[in-house]
Structure 1
């Protein structure tokens, strides 16, 4: 590491380099302060660690969203992928020498937002019938004894009613569950029935078979497990949602980063298109190269946040599309498009309407829509993000300022989070910070994906940020790997985030979820397939920090050898419980010693809990195998002062309870 001449400290940080002189001085000061004992501590953000959900890697449809039918509304198209069309993932079936026809029509849809529907004409019945089959997202998994809710919108196009047999069949064509419905109305109606499965199978298909002659229209063909998270209708896959709940995040940012501002103006994520009955929502291309039904929409996001005690943090476009629109990812930023100024007042009202929808009384215009969905009480929205990794162009600056000023004037209780571009340095970063300082934006969103070494060397990034100015939300970060060495580099950095919790208000690892075989971005926190989920080592680091958050940071509790750069530590206290929480990181190959002094905290219970996560530098939880590295909790005797020997490549959390 070089020793630099006097230059801007932040400049060195932006290049991932920390001057040795600063590091040594800082460490020596910490060692001196330790000798003086704990004094008071400083308040840090109570919302420090949370989650960032982006609909990438099939995280929503085919993932967290519980729907088991793929292309349920026949809205897939070449816009999503060149080879896709309205019948993608559907098969026309005529078992038993039956015949008829299947077409897509748009003349009289269930709703204008959902224009395509299938028309099934049953001309001749052999031994069985005429129908359609869906294999879901790489097959449909079912469990013996469990119930599945089937629904479909249908209308009769012939004179006599049409009987339909709905079944779940295994790869051999054997029926695992079956039920019947009768379509009798010439108007669109929703028909529902339940299927109870007789045998567990990971590779079933849904079959909808008309068994009487006639003609009918079908749309929004849906199959949901009854056992969704919290048993919510139109709900979430229970095991994935529970893994997220087990992190105990303080907030969840959604619906994404690049997804939010979209691939061109027509692809921007518009929150109003994602609420209300699912048959009325607007489906569209996903910027990551597939399709989004909007079944997991703003109501479901807010409801999930409430269900797990996390604050909602929706991110809205800053009236510009992604600068990488049109396939220019990471190149030049020539694709950014801006909403025309003649449309800006309508767009600003859309942002303001979100606050009313989330927080307004049930009698208000948009609060009534929330109440109609089943939630008359406000969601208590506190944060709203405006923009994501945007190129800081004059068009962006003008529109961001208009939105920010309007929200600040109408809703001063809302904390607006701005953006400073896609990188932790460079032109957009500097311009973004300049704009934030000029407008006095409360919080800005910094992102960085870097090697583990970057996180180790940048632990002092926020030490010199102004303490009473714009705060930071680290909305996306990861060390480009899912090995133990990656997770511990992140853990060391997170101790620095706690140390600077008066400047850093929020932080979230990204991306969150990735489906095996459908992944556009690595690394991710949790990998999954149709039946199982596999938390990475990074997941357990995030969980240990999140479930052990505090609201006061203490500088002088832990001391170590200043020359041992592999060691990092933090000490926080939870004012609600009085618990003192130590996080001790050893990112090196040899054991390391740290001295702890708890004498200034008054009466603490010596019977503490110690949780250790450790493994070799290359250790990882491999998808499809039992987890190799998981936290282990044991009892620990916490004296007023003690020395702790941290195992090689480890994160240790010691939680000491206040004595009753």
Structure 2
């Protein structure tokens, strides 16, 4: 039962929600002109020391309940005096008490001078629980200010210094009671403990170039890839000095040539007892460490150019307190901690999505139920006079001729002409679907279609389901008579099942026919919900439990093949009769079809019951984007609302997010196009979320005007200032699409660190802007177990980033087996002519989606081989564990704020060699395995074993 105090606080917070949001966007003092930091050690706790009194931030009576006051008290080394310092996004921190698991908060969420500071369960989204740590005005101190009221500093009541003095917030007047030190509770007495030494500026680990083991191998910073050269032991050599010993080589961190000048590169070397091999480890007031060299007492371990890119070398440099001179020392262990009362975020239901586009023939030749590939005869000839995806079909003693008619094509630049010139039998052309891999005929099942044809006289045309050799399984004869293009519908039912058949259009007697467009699909038995969607593929996607679909991707990139691309890939070319829609020159295939486009995508997502985010060409005009809002949501009395109704959807759609472009260089030109389009959209409906189409950033951003590692080549984030300001002026919300490369799990952390730094700097640009980060593409070049590990790690880490990331989708949704034309070998669902199956990354999506409990809580590990996230609903906890190691891991799992009553865990696990995948010959090689595992809870901890190369979902009740 809640105490009256608890109820009061909760009621105040809920009732004041609008006020909290308004207050949360006040300007705060910017930190130093570099990315503030990438977080304190998740496995080290800290003491918060008040400078004026010398006493520690503590809890009255050592209390553990919501509402217990924070006080000053002598250092008695009790756990209520220890605090975890954790990221809460955009440079802010939360201070979590080690004893209680509760957060440093403001009483009732108030902000007035004198508001006391107390413990409360971290609720996420309440800015009074977030704090900014900045250098104090006095050397060796920090000031801690509150996010909700940026000019309010952590202080003591009446500037008191005695034991049990209450802690409060007060105007930041640089008073002595507002000065603090953050002291890591950490010793280096055990020479066997392994550590990672992590740079504040980049979040990367101190490593050795190329993993070298020889003398003079340079020390570098590199993203954590669980390599042995990234681990160090710390050896006490007396006199306050230490050796930093590389775990892989056994060599000691030293200075090249024993040099002492600025810029001398750090390297590893045999222990020769030289003074340049001795370091002091000095805790700093902000909770980080500096490493001072004995030979150069004023020089500290730094990074060349304060760089954040992988392989940037470490050096010695004057102590100027730059961010690259601060380090955390993170002990390596084998434990997982879950705090069920530390809410990271209300879990977005859209963290388990997929992106689909026409890479790998996902749509045309795949999901689109159109069985003819080369529907409008646009491809150049293969056989003489025959469009490239078709071949001649001559039977009996007939003779015929073929030509590509360019004088009066149905659409595009050419149509197919067939002439029966003599003999008996038939003369025609056949189509075998995508890249001629075969047409799937099912005995006793109907197939429907139509063809646009014309002739100068009456001719009989037969359409037929056939074997690849021409055996007829079913057919219908049509009479074509007239020089105008006319639609001729047909239907037939094959008498034989054949997964590699062909579809033939042929003349059975003398004459000439011109064919401009052909459509063929299964009857409703083979389509999803009556839509032009292949049933088995849709069912496979449904079994993946996707929660959001994104459509577009590189098909929306402008201009790659000239103006035809961005002229014809426009949404207005995707409405109306399919045969009338203009083809477009695609990024991946030159003769793409608009027969299945954005409206079809919306209908498909609606039938699946999940959210849909379409991507538009960024050269769509503002008027066209405004018209799309009418198509999406307008009355049928509007022009484009009426078109929606004519397309079979009279009711408005409920979707409210779109993306403007794909993988754009977000410079001033793009910003202008984006703002103009967004303004037109918001004039119609201000609730629509318009998404900025950025790419990937691989390096942590320390200066927004000097960006490196942008996938687009962008060198500055400055264009975002106009985008954010425009959104604020319209009181509108935007999203920003950042992609993440995840071909291997070792790559993921670096991109996510860069994403966080991007988010930090945009917040500094405009703290009133309402935006979230979306990841519409987890990209890889593979679809095996290694990619599954990477996807799982990425989703887990993004879940742990609070509510800043609201959509995660993996590319690509689909891939035809054996028909990949472009190298993006990353389909989650594979298919051939007649069946579909899931690849390992698709099972990860399903596992994580099924484990959604609504609230992400804080989870962490000191085992570098593991990535974790957790969700909690009050009675059940779901823990996601990714083990990227080649050996099984058996960590201790410590629980705070939750005591399971069942002594069995429900386990779903996916594992295998990193190269394992589900091939056509064994579509179930890698599948999730379910089990029930008994465990013993000792205190608040249990032990479970996670298989090598595994993704596991653990449910505790």
Separation of aligned partners in 1, 2:533 and 2:955: 33
Separation of aligned partners in 2, 1:520 and 1:587: 28
CA contact (8 A) 1:483 1:618 kept: yes
- Map 1:325-344; keep pairs closer than 5 Å: none
**Is residue 128 from structure 1 mapped to residue 425 from structure 2 by the alignment?**
yes
Matched residue SS, 2:924:
coil
Question: Mind listing any 5+ residue stretches in structure 2 that lack a counterpart?
Answer: 1-194, 205-220, 224-307, 313-323, 700-707, 728-733
Separation of aligned partners in 2, 1:108 and 1:485: 52
**Is residue 375 from structure 1 mapped to residue 375 from structure 2 by the alignment?**
no
The alpha-carbon deviation at position 422 of structure 1 amounts to 4.7
Say which is worse superposed, 406-415 or 50-59, in terms of deviation: 406-415
- Deviation per CA, 1:1-57, whole angstroms, max 9, x where unpaired? 9846653659987636999987766999x97x85x7624553243322211112112
Aligned to 2:745: 452
Matched residue SS, 2:798:
helix
Aligned to 1:327: none
- Deviation per CA, 1:511-568, whole angstroms, max 9, x where unpaired? 332331333123313333323434322222222223333432111xx564x2x21122
Aligned to 1:251: 548
Separation of aligned partners in 2, 1:299 and 1:582: 38
- Map 1:80-91; keep pairs closer than 5 Å: 87-91=387-391
Match of 2:825 among 523, 527, 540: 523
- Map 1:254-269; keep pairs closer than 5 Å: 254-257=551-554, 259-263=556-560, 264-268=562-566, 269=569
The alpha-carbon deviation at position 371 of structure 1 amounts to 0.9
Match of 1:241 among 526, 531, 538: 538
The alpha-carbon deviation at position 65 of structure 1 amounts to 1.5
Separation of aligned partners in 2, 1:12 and 1:348: 44
The alpha-carbon deviation at position 461 of structure 1 amounts to 5.2
Distance 1:601 1:362, change over 3 A: farther
Separation of aligned partners in 2, 1:197 and 1:504: 50
Q: Which has the higher strand share?
A: 2
CA contact (8 A) 2:400 2:418 kept: yes
Q: Which has the higher contact order (CA 8 A, sep 6+)?
A: 1
Aligned to 1:340: none
State the TM-score, normalized to the length of structure 2. Answer: 0.58
**Is residue 632 from structure 1 mapped to residue 926 from structure 2 by the alignment?**
no
Say which is worse superposed, 39-48 or 471-480, in terms of deviation: 39-48
Match of 1:357 among 631, 638, 641: 631
Aligned to 1:337: none
**Is residue 553 from structure 1 mapped to residue 856 from structure 2 by the alignment?**
yes
Aligned to 2:908: 611
- Deviation per CA, 1:485-535, whole angstroms, max 9, x where unpaired? 332233122211111141111111223323313331233133333234343
**Is residue 537 from structure 1 mapped to residue 837 from structure 2 by the alignment?**
no
**Is residue 152 from structure 1 mapped to residue 445 from structure 2 by the alignment?**
no
Distance 1:262 1:168, change over 3 A: same
Aligned to 2:572: 272
Matched residue SS, 1:208:
strand
CA contact (8 A) 1:458 1:493 kept: no
Say which is worse superposed, 278-287 or 449-458, in terms of deviation: 449-458
- Deviation per CA, 1:384-420, whole angstroms, max 9, x where unpaired? 1112222234432332232233333432111111033
CA contact (8 A) 1:44 1:500 kept: no
Separation of aligned partners in 2, 1:609 and 1:4: 36
Aligned to 1:649: 949
Distance 1:105 1:432, change over 3 A: farther
Match of 2:530 among 207, 232, 236: 232
Matched residue SS, 1:253:
strand
Separation of aligned partners in 2, 1:472 and 1:26: 31
**Is residue 500 from structure 1 mapped to residue 694 from structure 2 by the alignment?**
no
Aligned to 1:300: 600
The alpha-carbon deviation at position 305 of structure 1 amounts to 0.8
Separation of aligned partners in 2, 1:572 and 1:24: 28
Match of 1:174 among 438, 446, 471: 471
Bigger Cα Rg: 2
Separation of aligned partners in 1, 2:357 and 2:713: 22
Say which is worse superposed, 128-137 or 293-302, in terms of deviation: 128-137
- Map 1:562-641; keep pairs closer than 5 Å: 562=862, 564-573=863-872, 580-596=877-893, 600=897, 609-635=906-932
**Is residue 284 from structure 1 mapped to residue 584 from structure 2 by the alignment?**
yes
- Deviation per CA, 1:85-107, whole angstroms, max 9, x where unpaired? 86222234443333454433355
Distance 1:472 1:71, change over 3 A: same
Matched residue SS, 1:57:
helix
Distance 1:84 1:316, change over 3 A: farther
**Is residue 15 from structure 1 mapped to residue 313 from structure 2 by the alignment?**
no
Matched residue SS, 1:436:
helix
Match of 2:640 among 366, 373, 393: 366
The alpha-carbon deviation at position 270 of structure 1 amounts to 1.0
The alpha-carbon deviation at position 127 of structure 1 amounts to 2.4
CA contact (8 A) 2:348 2:806 kept: yes
Matched residue SS, 2:425:
coil
Aligned to 1:67: 370
- Map 1:178-217; keep pairs closer than 5 Å: 178-184=475-481, 187-217=484-514
**Is residue 435 from structure 1 mapped to residue 722 from structure 2 by the alignment?**
no
Backbone CA RMSD of aligned residues: 3.6
CA contact (8 A) 2:789 2:951 kept: yes
Matched residue SS, 1:389:
coil
Matched residue SS, 1:284:
coil
Separation of aligned partners in 1, 2:932 and 2:806: 32
Question: Mind listing any 5+ residue stretches in structure 1 that lack a counterpart?
Answer: 320-345
Distance 1:104 1:615, change over 3 A: closer
Matched residue SS, 1:38:
strand
Distance 1:401 1:366, change over 3 A: same
Aligned to 1:335: none
- Map 1:481-500; keep pairs closer than 5 Å: 481-500=782-801
The alpha-carbon deviation at position 652 of structure 1 amounts to 1.2
The alpha-carbon deviation at position 143 of structure 1 amounts to 2.2
Separation of aligned partners in 2, 1:213 and 1:144: 31
CA contact (8 A) 1:456 1:489 kept: no
State the TM-score, normalized to the length of structure 1. Answer: 0.82
